[in-house]
Amino acid sequence: MQISYIDGPRLRRSLVAACDHAQRQRAELNRINVFPVPDGDTGTNLALTVRAIADHLRANRDREVSAVASAAAQAAVMGARGNCGMMLSHFLLGFSGRVNDRERITTHEFAEALAAGVDHLYAALERPMEGTILTVMRDTATAAEGSGIPDFVPLIDHLVDRARTSLARTPDLLPVLRKAGVVDAGAKGFVSLLEGVLLFIHGDPIVAAAPEEVGAGILEVEYPDDEEQYRFCTEALVRGRALPEQNVVRDHLRDRGDSLIVIRAADVLKVHIHTDDPDDVFAYLRTLGTLATHKAEDMKAQHAAVGRAAREGHVTLARRPVTVVTDSACDLPDEVVRAHGIHITPLVLVTDDDTFRDRLDITAAEFHRRLDEAPDTLPTTSQPAPADFLETFARAAEDGEELVGVILGSGLSGTFGSAEVAAKRFHGAEVHLVDSLGASLLQGLLVLKATELAELATPPAEIAQELRRIRRQSGILFTVDTFERLIRSGRVGRGRALLGTLMNVKPVLGLDQRGGVIPVGKAIGRKRVMQTLLDAVRARVAADAQRVRFGVVHVGCPEIVPVVEEELRRRFGPTEVLRAPATPVISTHLGIGAWGVAYMVED
């Protein structure tokens, strides 16, 4: 077999295979992760980054190699986690820039693109460190440029061989690796990407290494207090139309920490920094645009968890102290889910023709289009089975020593009961369940708060207690454009709905403290209902509340979101506002034109 060029489909298939293979190396990469901080998360961070790339490319149908390369780079930026993910994103941005506007590339042009990726990465780093993924990328690009091989099959064989050789010498370049007796985890992750392409080209099955093939046990390495002065691994994603260049942001943040990496790509800015004051970083980034995601993980707590795993003799499990799980009714945006590594159990939507798992088989936007095109169709909804939660718990337990589950309100669905059954049967980690007594972004905001507490290594019992306290002073209000869906789902009586329809009455509904649907108010017409709903939110949030976050959710009416968001900020000042389309399971009961506001008071 000879391959003289790569076009869009070939690059896409190769990258998906590479990403799938790299994800299977997560446990081993976590095990050997000792640089820059031995916190056991390089494998997890790389896995989440490449999963974002693969998920995006699976839906891609571009024919040009430049379009696929650009799609991969943008997906990497959006999904980048940790040092290795940020560095891989910079590399892909440089690669993509080099193949711009090309339908296909030869091996020579491929080598030039690899070199451009390395140059782009070097230029982005404040202090390039040899013995890391950077070194292996550069050696691989150099090998490609000097090979003169016109066929991609022997070229990839050659590059994998050179990359493995480069990886083997990383301990010679970094004393911390030599002392621990390991190669660099991020560099090994890059080699695994190349190996995935090689396996794909040769038609070999891509399988995970068996447990006995993965390392010799979790490494217990002292925390490098003399080298790493900062405590929190801090990451953020900012959106905006007038974002500053990455050098400007880097100059501003340079003195606030180390391990600083900044990516500017179109209307997105991504930042990674180790710092002692994450809130100061976030406050600055909010001045640049909309802070779409932000997180701060306690690296010393993660290091302590790795030490516990080592002392307990674990071979493959280097885990965080706490991982958060939920269900798809939370309505959290994908970028937030990826940023925090949240594990989601999908609810189920059943039509006459098929069954769909929410967020996996059908997205909210896709369902809204179907709902708009066939308004008389009323799918049925189903809670996840205990087995579905068991599967989610098993995945989450690979990441966390203990689990906190924030679940769809028991007053709205049997989902919480299903999670309880699964939690009693699960033995991979202790599961702490919290009944959100809510749905949509009310549940989502509580999930987000749980992840933030977990990233600071807050004990699970304290997380659960804090969420229950916050829920008592938080809520969600929503309205519908028509009563038809509520009638057909049994939520509203036909007589009351008919009267409301005739008078053009728009209801404002909410959830009580038990999670049940209650009437809050009503208004004549669409314009007045916004005023009524937001007045009701204002009445429920204490005037002296200092820490309030909001969420705006909609069913097929995204145009309402910026209007409501602007009004929320006018009334409450600069505040965080999540925005999302409602999950199909919720949308099917509300109908097109429904929207709502969730609020979470943290004081």
Long-range contacts of 303-309 (CB under 8 A, 24+ apart): 303/37, 303/38, 303/39, 303/40, 303/223, 304/457, 305/40, 305/401, 306/38, 306/39, 306/40, 306/218, 306/219, 306/220, 307/220, 308/401, 309/40, 309/218
Is 418 found in the same domain as 283?
no
Q: Which two tokens stand for residue 272?
A: 């990674």
| 3-class DSSP assignment, residue 313 | coil
| 3-class DSSP assignment, residue 405 | strand
Q: Where a domain ends, among 213, 243, 268?
A: 213
Over residues 215-224, the pLDDT tens digits come to 455 555 665 6
Over residues 3-48, the pLDDT tens digits come to 999 999 999 999 999 999 999 999 889 888 887 776 678 888 999 9
Given phi > 0 = left and psi -120 to 50 = alpha, else beta, which region is 430? beta
Say if CB 478 and CB 589 are below 8 A apart: no
* 293 occurs within a structural domain: yes
* 221 occurs within a structural domain: no
* Alpha-carbon span 54 to 18, nearest angstrom: 9
- Nearest CA-CA partner of 278 in 338, 336, 236: 236
Q: Where a domain ends, among 440, 469, 498?
A: 469
* Alpha-carbon span 343 to 319, nearest angstrom: 14
Which CATH number belongs to the domain containing residue 528 in this structure?
Answer: 3.30.1180.10
pLDDT of residue 219: 55
Is 76 found in the same domain as 63?
yes
- Nearest CA-CA partner of 309 in 322, 321, 323, 299: 321
Question: Residues 6 or more apart from 207 whose CB is under 8 A from it?
Answer: 24
Q: Where a domain ends, among 303, 325, 345?
A: 303
Over residues 103-127, the pLDDT tens digits come to 999 999 999 999 999 999 999 998 8
Total tally of structural domains belonging to the chain = 4
DSSP track, 42-61: HHHHHHHHHHHHHHHHHT--
pLDDT of residue 211: 37
pLDDT of residue 304: 77
Residue numbers of the domain that contains 264: 232-303
Over residues 494-517, the pLDDT tens digits come to 444 434 444 568 889 999 888 888
Q: Which two tokens stand for residue 296?
A: 């701060």
Over residues 259-283, the pLDDT tens digits come to 999 999 989 999 999 999 999 999 9
* 176 occurs within a structural domain: yes
Over residues 38-58, the pLDDT tens digits come to 667 888 899 999 999 999 999
Is 198 found in the same domain as 88?
yes
All residue ranges of the chain with pLDDT < 70 are 38-39, 205-228, 305-318, 483-504
Is 20 found in the same domain as 125?
yes
* 409 occurs within a structural domain: yes
* Alpha-carbon span 448 to 474, nearest angstrom: 14
Is 312 found in the same domain as 174?
no
Name the one residue in this structure whose structure tokens are 């869009």.
8
Is 284 found in the same domain as 323?
no
CA distance from start to end of the chain: 65
Which CATH number belongs to the domain containing residue 419 in this structure?
Answer: 3.40.50.10170
Name the one residue in this structure whose structure tokens are 């180790």.
274
Say if CB 446 and CB 515 are below 8 A apart: no
* Alpha-carbon span 300 to 317, nearest angstrom: 17
Alpha-carbon distances, residue 363 vs 275, 368, 378 (angstroms): 36, 9, 17
Which CATH number belongs to the domain containing residue 296 in this structure?
Answer: 3.30.70
pLDDT of residue 221: 60
Is 209 found in the same domain as 147?
yes
Name 239's bridge partners.
268, 290
Is 593 found in the same domain as 570?
yes
* Beta strands at 290-298 and 232-239: parallel, antiparallel or unpaired: antiparallel
pLDDT of residue 212: 35
Name the one residue in this structure whose structure tokens are 């949509």.
440
Is 242 found in the same domain as 96?
no
* 1 occurs within a structural domain: no
**127 burial via Cβ count (<10 Å: 0-12, 13-18, 19+):** exposed
Preceding amide of 384 cis, omega within 30? no
* 223 occurs within a structural domain: no
Q: What percent of the chain has pLDDT over 70?
A: 90
Is 159 found in the same domain as 29?
yes
pLDDT of residue 126: 83
Is 383 found in the same domain as 353?
yes
* 511 occurs within a structural domain: yes
One-letter amino acid for residue 4 of the chain: S
* Alpha-carbon span 535 to 582, nearest angstrom: 22
Give the length of the chain: 603
pLDDT of residue 260: 95
Is 269 found in the same domain as 146?
no
* 226 occurs within a structural domain: no
